[in-house]
Chains A and B, each alone.
Chain A
Amino acid sequence: MAKIIGLPKLSPTMEEGTLIAWAKAEGDAVEIDDLLAEVETDKATMEFRSFDRGVLLKILVPEGAALAPGAPVAILGKAGEEIGPLLEQLAAQAGPPAAPVAADPGLVPAAVDPGLAPAAVDPPPGPAASDRILASPLVRRLAREQGLELRGVQGSGPRGRIIKRDLEALSAAPAPAAASHAGPAAPYLREPSRIEPASATRRTIARRLVESKQTIPHYYLTMEVDAGPLWDTRKALNADLAASAGKLEPEKISLNDLILKACAGALRREPATNVSWRDGQLHRHQVVDLSIAVAIPDGLVTPVLRDADRLSVLELSRQVRALAESARARKLRPEQMQGGTFSVSNLGMYGIESFSAVINPPEGAILAVGAVREEPVIREGRIVPGRRLRLTLSCDHRAIDGATGASYLATLRRLLEAPALLLMG
């Protein structure tokens, strides 16, 4: 008799397995211990072997499907056997959970006014194939405003929709614990704090940074760079610009312009760092679009410098200046702040030696640039005056491994210490 084959638990800690490849096709004969499929678990790629003998009548999941242990994956039976009833049984199991209002026998579960479109009482589609979170518009707004993460919140509405009372349950839970730590109930403040409503920008920053730090496994790599050649190059470039400006105000190249140019060039040479981890997949970016952190009175914005690797230093400098001015005038259009592939944040002008930055999701990395400082350096066994610059790269470990990030920094240092290479793009 035909039976449904479920995905076995292939390791003690396996919570999910990805069925990488089927070893049998529909219609193939299967012997006990025959390889059915390869499954990637949290530990390794494992063999999924048959416990039964028969014919593989139906494959229920495609290759690449992520599955919980026990999930039905195939139907095994005798050749030509009728599997309709089993498929119906599976469809019924996959149907919607019992409607939550069913507890009250006096009420119709779908609660649809019979005067309205009868289509509304059609059964809702089965469990969503995607991992889209079902939440009411109100809940989405509250989550946005309060920076709440909805993933993992148990929804009590129809089809598991998260509704307001589910958030109330969420925020009610940790409160008593916090109170027990707080000692005296009311905190004593000489003057009560002034509470200001947060601007939309501030709320967006808060939400995105919380999302970044809570969901992205950051690690940090710091490297010191000899900034002498960079310093001299900038001087030479600006002297030339001043000489050719005539009576006009001369344009000026900043150290940051050169650093951005080097960052972009290094990303082209090290494409493994120009990546993002998004929805369980690695995205390799085909362009080098740098997000540049710009401080504005109410926070921080990150306008995007498109195709930074293809711009000449002078053109890059002009575009960066224009973006920064738009940012401070709050005239950036949304599309000018979207779609960066890598961020650069520079606090050198404040004298900050080095710092670690928070990744700007969904990007995979951010470079924190410190100040160029005059320091004693050892060259050929002698202490001589030099200029040093410290760079810290924050990486998303899901997308960029340590050696990959390190290799990027090494290339970046090579470009910064030999700025002539920047001429090559």
Chain B
Amino acid sequence: MSARTIRYREAIREAMAEEMERDSDVLLMGEEVGHYQGAYKVSEGLLTRFGERRVLDTPIAEAGFAGIGVGAAMTGLRPIVEFMTWNFSFVAFDQIISNAAKIYQMSGGTIRCPIVFRGPNGAARQVSSQHSHAVEPFYASIPGLLVAAPSTPRDAKGLLKWAIRDDNPVIFLEGETLYGEKGEVPAPELDELIPFGCARVAREGDACTLVAWGSALQKALEAAEELAAVGIECEIIDPRTLRPLDTPALVRSVRKTHRCVVVHEHWPYGGPGAEIVDRLQREAFDDLDAPIERVAGLDVPMPYASNLEARVLPTVQRIVRAVRAACYR
């Protein structure tokens, strides 16, 4: 069987199924992951295939089941904890930050916590301010956690398989708007793993580097096409994981283009977007021909109205404008 075109949600399902098949310590738990087949149908069929001991429907109690997951990981299992959306993880913040991220250090390296927390991240069409968070700034700032934010089906599968096998707690940020996206994914026999900390060049160009991940990547690609029409060829770097961050790949690209625009859905204050700018201004200082621009979600709670929501999220138009500013054109 060769590469097939499958959807992002299917890629995640395949990753989980293959790892559960390979390792009987891997289990899935979360709200509606079993009998309902997953709120976004990501876990469809897994209950039938692996049974109730390995696919567990939990009550609506994130702090509780996240804590159970952390405990299970500490005692040797490899749980995958699904949050129906990452917005609900705030209830479980303490379990993730105070326990999952700390136990390896606090036990003097004797207790590991190989757990994956996963679910959809970011805005999802009119779910309003409480349910539209891009959470990467919160989690990527915590030492002890790894953070992945795949933008394609292939990356989603390869990164999730790596995440499940990694001995560190992983924050796995999926895109609700990406679940239906299709893309080529290598055959299961190839068992492709994508290591953390390796960025991907999503598009080659020499005029300006665009950095984008998750659902923002699609907009960066569209903006790049629009800019190519006026002769500005952007290079797009998808870091794929935000912690670890592949700084050398970013620096390499900026050495080539001398300009950079960072695109992200999260708010502009701090976060990986600002972290990337910080690293580049230091490590590529002598290669910059222009200040680094950022295109961020606007600095407001997400409005419910769809016309306003569209204005708050990064738009292709804003990316085009920022690239032209960085290119002085």
Contact = CB atoms under 8 A, between A and B. Distances in A.
Query: Do A and B interact?
Result: yes
A112 B299 CA distance: 14
A344 interface: no
A96 to B, nearest CB: 15
B289 interface: yes
Contacts of A111: 293, 321-322, 324-325
Contacts of A141: 286-287
Interface stretch (A157-165, A295-303, A370-378): A157-165
B327 to A, nearest CB: 10
Interface in B188-233: none
B268 A108 contact: no
Given A107-B324, A138-B258, A157-B328, A113 B287 contact: no
Contacts of B325: 101, 107, 110-112
A112 B326 CA distance: 10
Given A101-B325, A113-B318, A137 B296 contact: no
Contact of A156 (B268, B298, B328): B328
Nearest to B255: A138
A248 interface: no
B294 interface: yes
A117 interface: yes
Interface in A181-213: none
Contacts of B286: 137-138, 140-141
Contact of B290 (A110, A112, A140, A163): A163
A101 B324 contact: yes
A84 interface: no
Nearest to A104: B324
Contacts, number: 69
B329 interface: yes
A139 interface: yes
Interface in A129-155: 136-141
A158 to B, nearest CB: 7
Interface in B258-302: 258, 267-268, 285-290, 293-299
Given A107-B321, A108-B321, A137-B287, A116 B328 contact: no
A114 interface: yes
Given A108-B321, A138-B258, A113 B289 contact: no
Contact of A117 (B268, B285, B289, B329): B268
Contacts of B314: 115
Contacts of B267: 115
Contacts of B268: 113, 115-117
A129 to B, nearest CB: 22
Interface residues of A, number: 25
Contacts of A112: 325
B132 to A, nearest CB: 15
A212 to B, nearest CB: 24
B296 A136 contact: no
A126 interface: no
A112 B324 CA distance: 11
A115 B324 contact: no
A100 B329 CA distance: 8
A137 B285 contact: yes
Interface in B297-329: 297-299, 314, 318, 321-322, 324-325, 328-329
Q: Which of B267, B288, B297 has the most CB of A within 10 A?
A: B288
A100 B328 contact: yes
Nearest to B313: A115
A164 B289 CA distance: 6
B290 A136 contact: yes
B199 to A, nearest CB: 22
Nearest to B324: A107
A138 B299 contact: no
A156 B289 CA distance: 12
A139 B289 contact: yes
A207 B237 CA distance: 36
Most buried by A among B289, B290, B296, B321: B289
A163 B328 contact: yes
Contact of B299 (A108, A115, A164): A115
Contacts of A156: 328
B266 to A, nearest CB: 10
Nearest to A118: B299
Of A110, A113, A114, the most chain B CB neighbours within 10 A belong to: A113
Residue of B268, B297, B321, B329 with most partner-chain A CB within 10 A? B321
A113 B293 contact: yes
A207 to B, nearest CB: 15
Given A107-B321, A117-B268, A157-B328, A163 B299 contact: no
Contacts of B293: 111, 113
A163 B328 CA distance: 9
Given A156-B328, A157-B328, A115 B290 contact: no
A110 B322 CA distance: 10
30 contacts: A101-B325, A107-B321, A107-B324, A107-B325, A111-B322, A111-B324, A113-B293, A113-B295, A113-B321, A115-B267, A115-B268, A115-B295, A115-B296, A115-B298, A115-B318, A116-B268, A116-B294, A117-B268, A136-B288, A136-B289, A136-B290, A138-B258, A138-B286, A138-B287, A138-B289, A140-B286, A141-B287, A156-B328, A157-B290, A163-B290
Given A101-B328, A110-B325, A141-B286, 9 more contacts: A101-B329, A113-B318, A115-B294, A115-B296, A115-B314, A116-B268, A137-B288, A138-B258, A163-B328
Interface of A: 100-101, 104, 107-108, 110-117, 136-141, 156-158, 163-165
Closest 8 CB pairs of A and B: A111-B325, A141-B286, A115-B296, A138-B289, A115-B298, A136-B289, A164-B289, A116-B268
